Amino acid sequence: MARRAASQQINDGTPVLTAASAGDKASAAPPRHPVTTFDRVLGQEAAKGVLKSSLASGRVHHAWIFHGPTGVGKRTLAVAFAAYLLDPTLSPTLTGDLGPEDGSPTQTLVRSGSHPDLHVVAKELAAISRNDKVRDGKQITLAKDVIEEFVIEPAQRSRVLSGPAGRATKVFVIDDADAMTVQTQNLLLKTLEEPPEGTVIILVSSAEDRLLPTIRSRCQRVACVPLDDPDMTKWLARRGDGSGSDGAGGGLGAIAPETRRWVLRFAGGSPGVAEAALEHGLLSWDAALKPKLDLVLSGTFVPSLAAEMAKLVDERAAAVVKQNPDASKDAANKLWARRMLAFVAESLRVRLRERAAALGPDALLRDPEIDRLLNAIEAILAAEGHLATNVNLALLMENLVAQMSAEAVGAAGHPR
């Protein structure tokens, strides 16, 4: 198995835990965007500096890529940037930065999800497509018809207005842009190259390397990074009091100290991962699986780990069907199986980060523990591919555990 650079951020195609995973259908209601100003975006100071400089110059590029690990606030920052681009009240504040006026109608409309010229596009829009086949699809990729219907056509209908320098008349934020197929990316390319006047397109990606070189070469790139512990603590506080963190909140109450400590460690600076872990109560999964996972990573085959993983998936899927009798048990099984794979992958990333921090950069490439973790993540990626082929869930988990055990032995030459 090809060995990856040990210092690489492991999020390039490995299942990623999110609150809204593949298989969830979009709601007809527009998404709300509680964060619309840079001062409310947690972290990302370097990225905000790039965007502020662009706004101040009055020469904002028409195509952007916001890239970085999953769940660190890329889309939140993109929406805040879009709100600035669309706001005619934007002007220097007392601190010298650009900001909107208090009570700005543009900010109010963006926060409510009802601004007519801000289009946040995601694969889940397939659920409200005009095309029957697209509506009935599995929303695994960002469908060509979704890009055509929700980006290309409305972009061509852009109002030709001459607003203030550096402002836009229409902004498209394409989330999970790397979920576009090559064919879909090529379809978007012409609009990306020559958008109508006043149109800005922002691609949000957690796997920028999946975007075509022709796409990347036409965009300004903005890197987003994991949040540090103080910012993650602020995020948890906002979530707990419902004050409008990155899409989370709602008066969920105080988070127990032990849960808070675990979430900070597990999320690795990603509010998106933290939100999913809290929403799904995955601390209980950690307690049930961690001892057996430790044994597997030492090279011991533990069949009961596979059985436990399949059992937890089945329990969650059964709960979905019980709550909604019209729900498909097969679809629910696949959804929760993806979340289980993502959970295990995230658990391995925690170990990888901690091991890398303990060793330092010079020792990374020679460490067998790093090899074991990287190879286990590769095995999870392979399992995600098998899941799409309708294999039996119990067999899938058994094969994954066997592969991780074998890779642990092979990486070190012998069990620890």
- Over the stretch 393-406, which tens digit does the pLDDT of each residue have? 999 999 999 988 88
Distance CA 279, CA 15 (A): 18
Q: Locate the domains of the chain by residue range.
A: 38-223, 282-412
Under CATH, to which class is 282-412 assigned? mainly alpha
Domain 38-223 homologous superfamily, CATH? P-loop containing nucleotide triphosphate hydrolases (3.40.50.300)
Residues 72-76 have a mean pLDDT of 95
pLDDT at 22 over 60: no
Q: Tokens 């591919």 appear where? A: 385
Residue 134 is predicted with a pLDDT of: 76
Instruction: Write the pLDDT tens digit of every residue in 267-309.
Output: 889 999 899 888 888 899 999 999 999 898 887 888 899 999 9
Residue 139 is predicted with a pLDDT of: 66
In CATH terms, are 38-223 and 282-412 the same topology?
no
Residues 47-62 have a mean pLDDT of 93
Out of 18-32, 169-183, 235-249, pick the least confident: 18-32
Residues 324-329 have a mean pLDDT of 74
374-377 long-range CB contacts below 8 Å, 24 or more apart?
A: 374/3, 374/4, 374/6, 374/10, 374/411, 375/1, 375/404, 375/407, 375/408, 375/410, 375/411, 376/296, 376/297, 376/348, 376/404, 376/407, 376/408, 377/10, 377/14, 377/345, 377/348, 377/349, 377/352
pLDDT at 133 over 90: no
Q: For helices 257-267 and 329-359, what crossing angle results, to 10°?
A: 80
Residues 244-253 have a mean pLDDT of 44
pLDDT at 124 over 50: yes
Task: State pTM to two decimals.
Answer: 0.80
Percent of the chain predicted with pLDDT > 70: 83
Residues near 108 by Cβ (< 8 Å), separated by ≥ 6?
Answer: none
